[in-house]
Amino acid sequence: MPIIRCSRCDRRCEVKPYRLRSGKPLCCSNSCAAKLRGFNPATTRSKRVRSKAERLYTKTPMSIDSIASIVKISRSTLLLWAKQGCWEPFPRNFSARTNYRNAAADLLGRPLKKGEHVHHIDGDITNNAHDNLHVYPNATEHTLAHGSLEKCAFLLVRQGLIQFDRVTGRYHLRPL
């Protein structure tokens, strides 16, 4: 096989003869070829991670620690990026979180265990009345409850009680 010098790092390497006829710059490896084309996987991943972190930070009420664990960066890095990028944080009302968990603990007559999830029956997270709260032992059970609600909603769509507006892309109750 012919021996060439890498177009990027100038290292000597063997190439298959057909590659000589392509007329393209020849490199010793795929990573050298990618770098020659200007593709850097490290910075590309970093841009994707930063973009995802910004989206979660500005558009969801998730905690800082949750966002950091999802995008696999440290909490301090996330906060630094937010400060550098002047990201406007999504309003995070932590007192509301403790209010409904405290109300659920009152309902049960004991503190909530780790992993227990509180469900708002009417979907209004500001309604912490005892008759509106239900405690599930884990996230799976809570997810199943939301799935059953969605099945009921689609049943009401099929019955014509809920309609979909194609202009706004939203569901609404059919006027009576």
- In angstroms, the CA 151 to CA 129 distance is 25
Across all residues in the chain, what is the average pLDDT? 84
Indicate the pLDDT class of residue 143, thresholds 50, 70 and 90: very high
Enumerate residues 6+ apart whose C-beta is below 8 A from 15: 1, 2, 3, 4, 26
Looking at the chain, the whole-number percentage of residues with pLDDT higher than 90 is 24
pLDDT per position as a tens digit, 60-85: 777 788 888 888 888 888 888 888 88
Does residue 55 carry a pLDDT above 80? yes
- In angstroms, the CA 6 to CA 13 distance is 7
- Contact yes or no for 133/108 (Cβ under 8 A): no
Instruction: Scan for tokens 């006829």, then name that residue.
Output: 21
Q: Which of 17-31, 86-100, 154-168 has the lowest mean pLDDT?
A: 86-100
Indicate the pLDDT class of residue 45, thresholds 50, 70 and 90: low
pLDDT per position as a tens digit, 102-136: 889 999 999 999 999 999 998 888 788 889 999 99
Looking at the chain, the whole-number percentage of residues with pLDDT higher than 70 is 91
Mean pLDDT of 30-41: 74
Q: What pTM did the predictor assign? A: 0.45
Q: Provide the pLDDT for residue 78.
A: 85
Token pair listed for 85: 């990028």
- Contact yes or no for 161/173 (Cβ under 8 A): yes
Q: Provide the pLDDT for residue 98.
A: 63
Q: Is 120 helix (H, G, I), strand (E, B) or coil?
A: strand
Does residue 40 carry a pLDDT above 70? no
Sorted by where each begins, the domain ranges of the chain are 3-36, 41-85
Indicate the pLDDT class of residue 86, thresholds 50, 70 and 90: confident
Instruction: Scan for tokens 């392509």, then name that residue.
Output: 22
